[in-house]
Structure 1
Amino acid sequence: MTVPTKDQGILPTFRSPIVSELRFFNSLTSEQGQIPTYRVLDGVGIPVEGAQLPEINEEFARRLYEHMVRLPTVDNVLYNVQRQGKISFYYGEEATIIGSAAALAPDDESLKLEIGQYREMGVLLWRGFGIDGVMAQCFGNLEDKSGKGRQMPMHFGSPELHFHTISSPLATQIPQAAGVGYALRRDPARRHKNVACVYFGEGAASEGDFHAGMLLASTIPCPTIFLARNNGFAISTPAHEQYAGDGIAARGPGYGVDTVRVDGNDILAVMNAVTEARRRCLASGRAVLVEAMTYRVGHHSTSDDSFAYRGRQEVENRKKIDNPITRFRLFMESRGWWNDQEEEALKSRLKKDVLTALRKAESLKQSDLRDLFTDVYAGEEPWNLREQREELGALLRKYGEVWQPWQSELKRFKDGGKKLME
């Protein structure tokens, strides 16, 4: 029973009622049950009873669908390119990210910066980054405008499109995003006008950076959307071995953050959830946590064999019963917005576009080696960086011919030593 007491106000959690019954709490055994998953379309593209569709017309639906199909088309080609040894590394995942990209459009003044992990290529494609830009980054050629060949493949960045350059260490982007939100909050011109959005997987949420970012964003507070892609396996660890609680969403209320769990394979549900998350961020200036429940049908990366930790038949079954592309296609067909002929034409056109971009990227020269030492410091080049540049130039002049037979990419460095000294 609840017992009123005059001393309640001195407790750290002063809004907590005083009770005489000893009772422990757990997110898995709570009387309220597990956190529900928001959905708009069922598995065959039919709106769920009572669900509200986002404002969407045929033209916009076609754009959504084309981007969803474009993602796996690019994925498949680059996956094979990596296997051939033409690029060093590649990540890929189904097209569930397009819904959030559509809700955070490039012309939306409320978005200031997005910070991705590895699987957010679809966000950039939605904003007009282009397949040529994707290929240029993966090959590190002269058209890799932002990275200049200095990043490993799939580590995109674009200042023009407000997309922070991806870095390899897991989860470091989460507290960085909270910091961006804090900067927005401190700027009177941007306060209540801009939000930051950070993407990460449920594996990254097991890192301390997740909690540091959530704590910072919730206590200051910061207008930041934390978008967790719970695809079930992180790198190679099933979700049930990663945490005992009710997923990532259960952690949001502990930080006093508005939280929603959404069906990540339902693009319309994701659009609604992220649109509302953005609205809440702008209205309150506080953080919001969105957990998108999805399933990674592909390997974690080209260096991973996912069948070592899950059954092949399980993956094949999920492709059939929970495919986000199929689900949205069925929705479009039910409204007369799509048909088999258009499907074949789209796939043929996209494959041609991707292969054309691939051949172009292969034919271009690599980025200038001197760019290794640019964009590091503003102003005059410091002595230590100049010393390193001169040392590399001397090594290339001395050993370049010896290295070439073993590392084909060093062919572009034949005259690298001289160029570095210029």
Structure 2
Amino acid sequence: MLRRSLPLLHRLHRSLSSSSLPPLSQPPTHGHLPNTHSALTPSLHFFNSVLPGQIPTYRVLDSNGVIVDGAEVPDVGREFARRLYETMMLLPAVDNVLYNAQRHGSISFYMTTHGEEAAVVGSAAALSPTDEVLGQYRELGVLLWRSYPLSSIMAQCFSSMDDPGKGRQMPVHFGSPAHHFHTISSPLATQIPQAAGVAFALKRDPARKGDVAICYFGEGAASEGDFHAGLGMASVLGGPLIFFCRNNGFAISTPAAEQYAGDGIASRGPGYGIRTVRVDGNDAWAVYNAVKEARRLALEYQKPVLVEAMTYRVGHHSTSDDSYAYRPKQEVEDWKRIDNPLFRLRRYLESQSLWSESDESSLRTSQREAVLAAFRYAESRPKPRLGQMFTDVWGGEEPWMIREDREEMGRLLNKYGNVWEGWRRELERFDAGGRDMMGAGEEEEEN
């Protein structure tokens, strides 16, 4: 269980919940505006910060895995601590295999979480398994923490017949109702106002009174209008919601310094009346503590909480990106060496006699074998039946345009599927070889 006493975090929450100006030592001389706590003053004063100076960053472990003076590591037990590290290590094991698979042409697209393992897995560990997750596209670690099968990850990325989404999503666009993980969508930041709606629904449902929603996004998504719409909706409608911003330094190729002039994303929370904390995103225990407390606050007050996790995207934005075109390679290598979230937690576990060199070697071998086994199986599986691309698209009676599209594809397959070499080879990759669609076209011609 998390230790009840987190003095620094509580003090930070109280300070962020207070007025953006220092409290007056005496009652306001000129009164205050109706329906507000804003004191009237004859002094002209402009301000651009919610706190004197910059917003502090909460930390438990330094970059060498040593506990910071005054910080508290959560009392979670040996098995929990080991599982946290093992899940963080599994994430790059999966990422490395699938990134290379894309480079070899086995899958079409991939996005890694290199450098952000502590932010993603540390936050997932602080949640309840039934909390609703609305991710962006680097939240695979949340699913791994919730024991999402490697076979399902591979099936989704390969768009095989085993994919619950029937191969109709881009790779790494996961979704699993059983794991309370809402399907990821490609447009940036759309999940933020959706999360406000999910939290409002949780607030209104007595059966879900112990659950929260958590919405993940990057600092680049916070430049979208949906960010402001989502925070505005959530702050007014209420509901147990954690906004979790992974500030990894880059919105694709745009560095954070060119995205905003204010003090990061955390400075925006108080403007919406939202409790806010900034945390060292490369410190798994700091992230865990912060999200655990954020979850408690969200449930207690039925209001949103904003967590900004400061981290660094070590990997390229995606397989469509070459990050060395906009940042020095040496900068990336320095981050890997100086502030590595995996190394930081490992050093801490070793210092507590919770991990050893033999544990590390055994873990790396077993994880790689498991990932490769799932990879090889998914690679051998056929694609879903072609006709499934037209199912589950429309509720109720099938509309004419879906029926027309399906029949047109059937006619094309009947005409070219068995005579054009390119089409014939491609159809072999699908379950039933496209024959389910050819039948649809034949029926149309008979009619």
In terms of mean alpha carbon deviation, does 385-394 or 259-268 score higher?
A: 385-394
Does the CA contact (< 8 Å) of 1:89 and 1:152 recur in 2?
yes
Q: Secondary structure at the match of 2:415?
A: helix
Query: Which residue is 1:144 aligned to?
Result: 163
Structure 1 residue 392: Cα displacement: 1.9
Change (3 A) 1:201 1:406: farther
Matched, 1:135 2:154: yes
Aligned equivalents of 1:275, 1:115: Cα separation in 2:
17
Query: Which residue is 1:359 aligned to?
Result: 376
Structure 1 residue 213: Cα displacement: 0.3
Query: Which residue is 1:325 aligned to?
Result: 342
Counting only pairs closer than 5 Å after superposition, residues 17-416 of structure 1 correspond to structure 2 as: 17-27=39-49, 32-94=52-114, 95-96=117-118, 97-106=120-129, 109=130, 111=131, 113-145=132-164, 147-190=165-208, 192-401=209-418, 405=422, 409-411=426-428, 412=430, 413-416=433-436
Does the CA contact (< 8 Å) of 2:417 and 2:424 recur in 1?
no
Matched, 1:5 2:30: yes
Structure 1 residue 398: Cα displacement: 2.2
The residue identity in structure 2 corresponding to 1:215 is G
Aligned pair count reads: 411
Q: Secondary structure at the match of 1:23?
A: coil
Q: Secondary structure at the match of 2:37?
A: coil
Does the CA contact (< 8 Å) of 2:219 and 2:265 recur in 1?
yes
Q: Which runs of 5+ in 1 are unaligned?
A: none
Q: Secondary structure at the match of 1:240?
A: helix
Structure 1 residue 403: Cα displacement: 6.3
Aligned equivalents of 2:188, 2:93: Cα separation in 1:
26
The residue identity in structure 1 corresponding to 2:254 is T
Aligned equivalents of 1:188, 1:290: Cα separation in 2:
26
Change (3 A) 1:407 1:71: farther
Q: Which runs of 5+ in 2 are unaligned?
A: 1-23
The residue identity in structure 1 corresponding to 2:414 is R
Change (3 A) 1:404 1:34: farther
Q: Secondary structure at the match of 1:133?
A: helix
The residue identity in structure 2 corresponding to 1:136 is A
Aligned equivalents of 1:360, 1:298: Cα separation in 2:
26
Change (3 A) 1:90 1:404: farther
Q: Secondary structure at the match of 1:243?
A: coil
Does the CA contact (< 8 Å) of 2:387 and 2:437 recur in 1?
no
Question: What TM-score does the superposition give when structure 1 sets the normalisation length?
Answer: 0.93
Question: What TM-score does the superposition give when structure 2 sets the normalisation length?
Answer: 0.88
Aligned equivalents of 1:201, 1:123: Cα separation in 2:
15
Change (3 A) 1:91 1:182: same
